Structures are given as structure tokens and as C-alpha cells.
Amino acid sequence: MKRIYDMFFRPQEVVELRAIGLNGNSSLWKGFSKGIISGYFNNAEALEKAAGLLDSAGASGVYFTLNPVNPALLARAVNRLIVPKNTTQDSDIACIRWFPLDLDPIRPAGISATDEEAQEAICLGDKISVWLENEFCFTRGIRACSGNGMHLLYRLPDLPNNQETHELIVNVLETIIAKFKNDNVDIDSKVTNPSRIWKYYGTTSRKGDSTSERPHRKSFIYAE
């Protein structure tokens, strides 16, 4: 499978990698962490290695900025991990490249999904993708497992990071939610901000304790 950087970014573009749920000192990062680790990367190999190390260290979640960030932000932590004073803001995004959908089974907070709950999200994702791709001629999107639910990602032409683009994406998402909302799966309405962080595929989603019924699962991109 292609590396995440190669799938989502062009050579030398900058992405923030961010992990939550790691505390204290470590040889992996600079500073004393109170829960958040961050770094900025324009090197695919360094990004992949850092994400793997954070996952192996037991991060609750490892994420990346879905859209490329202002190249100047690389200077905050050049292809390395730190305890951040600042993280990426909406105004730091260079362009809007992706239309994301995050489908998560409805369940009590702070726990992983059961296999049956996760399947509900997959089934809804399949219905939405058929509707978008057949009825509206969306180019086939990326389909992925978030660890608990399903992700759909649709490539856009690189759009300007402005109010017009934001309103367009919000309107499309609201239309999808209105058509497909149900009692079992939440279609996240908060994924439209430009600096949205997204699950780094290949890393583990850790919510609560891992049990036989509600296990921690690795995220992954479905094979075409």
C-alpha cells in the first residue's frame, strides 16, 4: 500500500502529525507531554516512522492534517516530534483538497464499537458512496476503516481556503446528513473545518479498555 504521505500530499508539502493520550517524557519527543504530541513533516519516510512509533507507544489516536498546511509551519518541528505550544489552525491551511465523511456507530462515549456496530457504519457508508458516485458522478472515493466506523474521502481540485469553499462543503455535508441520518450511525457534522485532523491509517484507535466485545482496532484503507 502507498504511504499516507504519498496518497494525500505532493512532494515537499507540509503536514502536521498529532497524537493524543501520551504523557510525560520520552525519547520519542521533546518536552514533557500532558497529552498531545505534534510534529511537522515534509518527508514521507520520517512521517511514516513517527506515526508508527507514536502508535507503538500506546497513543489513544494518531492523526494528520487532511489538507496541506502553510510550509512555514515546518519550522515549528522539522520532521520530528515535540510537545507543541501551537498546533495547526484553520487559517494555516494552504488549500482544501478533500471532502471527508466520518461515520461512527452511536454508542456510549469513551468505548470502542462492537463488530456489529462497526458493520452498521460500513453499510451506511456503502449506501452514501453509491449515491454520490452514481447519482452525482463523484469520482470514486477512498474507503477506510477508522477503527470503529467508516471513512469516505473524496478528492477535490485544490480549492481556496475561503468562506465560499467552506459553505460549499458544509452544504453538501448537510444534504448527505439530511438524506442518510439514522438512529444507529452518526455522520459527523464537524469535519468541515479546514484544519481537521484525520486518523492516520495503520494506527490503532484506543477508546476505553480493549475487550473481546469492544476491541481496539487498527485503522486501514480498504483495497480497491
Residue 177: its pLDDT value, please?
Answer: 98
> What distance in Å separates the CA atoms of residue 185 and residue 168, rounded to the nearest whole number?
24
Closest to 198 in 3D by CA, of 74, 99, 85: 99
Which residue intervals of 136-189 are DSSP H helices?
163-180
User: Which pLDDT score, from 0 to 100, does residue 2 have?
Assistant: 66
Neighbours of 209 (CB within 10 A): 11
3-state secondary structure of 55: helix
Tally of CA atoms within 13 A in the half-sphere of 67 that contains its CB: 27
Task: Retrieve residue 91's grid coordinates.
Answer: 487559517
Other CB atoms within a 10 A radius of the CB of residue 156 amount to 16
HSE-CB of 78 using CA atoms within 13 angstroms: 3
All structural domains of the chain: 4-92 (no CATH), 96-196+213-221 (3.30.70)
Backbone angles phi, psi at 36, to 5 degrees: -125, 130
CA 32 to chain centre: 25
130: burial class by Cβ within 10 Å (0-12, 13-18, 19+)? Answer: exposed
Please report how many Cα atoms fall inside a 13 Å half-sphere around the Cα of residue 213, on the Cβ side.
Answer: 1
Axis crossing angle, helix 163-180 with helix 115-130, rounded to the nearest 10: 110
Residue 197: count of CB within 10 angstroms of its CB: 19
Find cell 519527543 and name the residue.
Answer: 29
The three cell numbers of residue 46 are 520520517
Q: What is the pLDDT of residue 199?
A: 98
CA atoms within 13 A on the CB side of 157: 3
Q: What is the DSSP letter of 171?
A: H
Residues recorded for the chain: 224
What's the pLDDT score for residue 223? 86
For residue 113, what is its C-alpha cell?
464499537
Residuewise pLDDT in 10s, the chain (224 residues): 568 999 999 999 999 999 999 999 999 999 999 999 999 999 999 999 999 999 999 999 999 999 999 999 999 999 999 999 999 999 999 999 999 999 999 999 999 999 999 999 999 999 999 999 999 999 999 999 999 999 999 999 999 999 999 999 999 999 999 999 999 999 999 999 999 999 999 999 999 999 999 999 999 999 87
